[in-house]
Amino acid sequence: MNSTASALNQLKTLTTVVADTGDFERMKEFAPQDATTNPSLILKAAQQSNYQSLVNSVKAAHPGMQPSDLVDYILVAFGLEILKIVPGRVSTEVDARLSFDTKATVAKAKHLIALYESHGIERKRILIKLAGTWEGIAAAKELEAEGIHCNMTLLFSLVQAAACGAANAKLISPFVGRITDWHKAKLASNWNDANNGGANDPGVTSVKRIFHYYKHFGIATEIMGASFRNASQILELAGCDLLTISPELLAELQSSNATVGKKLNAANAQSALNAEHITALKLDESSFRLQLNNDAMATEKLAEGIRNFCIDTEKLEALLAQ
């Protein structure tokens, strides 16, 4: 097989490919443009023996520091190593426990940026990850106005995406796989891969809807599909601005020579929105909260995602306390 014809290399001609991992040693082989991390990925990497020296060096550099404060230095230490590998940006997540506190989120984001800048990293190479809550989106608006770029995560609905666009967030990360998980659990034995997978996958159609909304209304925020369960979901979103992919799925795409075609096209935006009777959404706070509340999947997955990131942040703190 000609290596230039791999599905991964074909995908790179249509979409910016991003590595979704804290395991920076593994991402080298896939030559991604950017990389994303989150508390769960950093916890996973920090438990690997090959990263013990990095964790220990951070602890040694800050003796007596509380684990809750040390976490930021660990996140940045991994981010700095990742930036030696990727030519573009790294995403570093704000503590999920601050998801409903705009002021504290802004302060934490500025602290993370200051840590990167103290190592000579320009802020344009950092994306601060914030939860797609009303408070997180309000924080993004404030941060973007100061030149601190944000990656809005735990994003499961069009109203979250539209509000992020209105806040001038640099980038959003709609979670494909987790949306699919919810619908699969809901349908149970009625789920059928032939009918509910591929182009009809609910996670895929959610990102397409956001893509069409952004392109139709001229929203500059970048769309980065995230949280994939299989390669099919990735290939169905070829043409999306960016896609962030786990090392396991990057390896699968690299070893495949399947033909990859462009699936998302801005030229189809208006007809796609018309077909779904979608018009500009109301985005004041009460309208946002009501629309999000009325979307059971988005409400449940957002709450679950924040809970799980909180749990993994606490596990990381416990690891650092040892």
Whether residue 116 contacts residue 76, with contact meaning beta carbons closer than 8 Å, is answered with: yes
**Token pair 């705009």 in the structure block, residue:** 102
First to last CA, the chain: 48
The 3 state secondary structure assigned to 96-115 is: HHHCCCHHHHHHHHHHHHHH
What are residue 36's DSSP bridge partners?
Answer: 20, 91
Known catalytic residues are 129
Any residues with CB less than 8 A from the CB of 88 and at least 6 apart, and which? Answer: 16, 33, 34, 125
Please give the full DSSP string across 131-162, using - where no structure is assigned: ESSHHHHHHHHHHHHTT--EEEEEE-SHHHHH
> Which ranges in the chain belong to alpha helices (H)?
7-12, 24-27, 39-46, 52-61, 67-83, 102-118, 134-145, 158-166, 176-187, 193-196, 202-216, 231-235, 247-254, 269-275, 285-293, 296-321
Q: Looking up tokens 């991994």, which residue turns up?
A: 78
The DSSP call for residue 15 is: S
- Torsion from C-alpha of 308, 224, 181, 155, nearest 10 degrees: 50
The strand pair at 150-155 and 90-93 is best described as unpaired
**Which structure tokens are listed for 75?**
């996140």
C-alpha pair distances (Å), 12 with each of 53, 145, 210: 34, 31, 21
312/322 Cα distance (integer angstroms): 16
256 within 8 A of 6, measured Cβ to Cβ: yes
What are the tokens at 292?
A: 């999000």
